[in-house]
Amino acid sequence: MRKKKMNSKPLRCEWARAVFLLLPFVPVFVGGSDWRIEDQSPAQNPNAPLVHERKLVARPGMASPKKIELVWFHADRHTLRVIDNGGEARPRYSGLAAALRAHGCVAGCNGGFFHENREPSGLMIASDEASGRFGQGALLSGVILSSARGNPYLLRRAEYDAEKYRPTDLVQSGPFLVDGGTTVRGLSAEKPARRTFVLHDGDRWFALGLSDVLTLAELGEILARPEFSPARPVRRALNLDGGTSSGLYYDGGGQSSLSVEPFKTVRNFLGIVPRR
């Protein structure tokens, strides 16, 4: 009687599965997922209405980490103010710090894009005075404003309604870096530069930020990582005018103060001011 040949295929599958389970786990990095926090400023009082953070981020193969400065503010105590630096040849203020101090701001950065003739790119409203026009395009895809009630907002262009928000201060800029807690697709991986940006946690916390030289794609990947800001997860992030326009000021008193001036004269500034 001839014996039936045993089918060894199931045994080979089970053996392969067992070997796979015994292998050590090796993390797989995809795209920008290998960014990590190298260092960050000491923990501050989470109940403070204004928080300055400094973070160092890096990825494998990078010669030195990149620095990111953040100034967070709570919308119950502070709001945003747009400061017009003038469209004429001579600016109204000597720099970022001088403009912010003149308007009672505790912190701030440069604002949105502008043309060679120093006219704002898109709509700008500074203390109820409007300049420019509400525009289209990726560099005008977001709207940062303070409403008639003094509430700050970070909106998609399509979400903006002048009658609803009645802004006293507003700047258009873009592109969005993070939306819904996820990096926006299609961000440029070319032309690395210093960057300034606005963050929102989806609730009452907002931040102005300044980064070392990064591409838009890299910055979007970093800001969307959960470990980047566990206390205040980044729900939305909008790019401001970067490169030589980038600057950030924070009057924290003593060692926590920060002053980085833009290299060139900008059209407007975005300040953090106590609410009335």
* Predicted local confidence at residue 33, as pLDDT: 60
Residue 132 lies in a domain: yes
Phi/psi of residue 76, nearest 5 degrees: -75, -20
Q: Output the pTM of the full model.
A: 0.86
Residue with tokens 């963050």: 199
* Predicted local confidence at residue 39, as pLDDT: 84
Residue 269 lies in a domain: yes
Q: How far apart are CA 118 and CA 272, in angstroms?
A: 23
Tokens of 240: 């401001």
- Closest Cα partner for 183 from 221, 139, 216? 221
Burial of 11 (0-12, 13-18, 19+ CB in 10 A): exposed
Region 170-177: mean pLDDT is 98
pLDDT band at 111 (very low <50, low <70, confident <90, very high): very high
Residue 200 lies in a domain: yes
| Digit-coded pLDDT (tens) for 60-74 | 988 999 999 999 999
More confident residue, 102 or 27: 102
More confident residue, 38 or 42: 38
Return all residues near 118 (Cβ < 8 A) that are at least 6 apart: 86, 87, 88, 265, 267
Q: Kindly tell me if the per-residue pLDDT of 26 is higher than 50.
A: no
Q: How far apart are CA 240 and CA 268, in angstroms?
A: 11
More confident residue, 265 or 21: 265
| Digit-coded pLDDT (tens) for 227-253 | 999 999 999 999 999 999 999 999 987
* Predicted local confidence at residue 123, as pLDDT: 97
Residue 15 lies in a domain: no
* Predicted local confidence at residue 90, as pLDDT: 85
Q: Kindly tell me if the per-residue pLDDT of 5 is higher than 80.
A: no
Which domain does 219 fall in, by range?
32-274
Total number of domains constituting the chain:
1
Tokens of 72: 């967070």
Residue 105 lies in a domain: yes
* Predicted local confidence at residue 2, as pLDDT: 44
Q: How far apart are CA 108 and CA 270, in angstroms?
A: 5
Region 156-169: mean pLDDT is 97
User: What are the start-end ranges of the E strands in 164-267?
Assistant: 169-173, 176-179, 182-183, 193-200, 205-214, 236-239, 248-250, 258-260
Category of 47 on φ-ψ map: left (φ > 0), alpha (ψ -120 to 50) or beta: alpha
Residue 36 lies in a domain: yes
Residue 212 lies in a domain: yes
Q: First-to-last CA distance in the chain?
A: 99
Residue 100 lies in a domain: yes
Residue pair 160/143 in contact (Cβ under 8 Å)? The answer is yes
DSSP codes joined into one string, 74-130? ETTTEEEEEEE--SSSS-SSSSHHHHHHHTT-SEEEE---B-TTS-BSS-EEETTEE
Tokens of 224: 């969307």
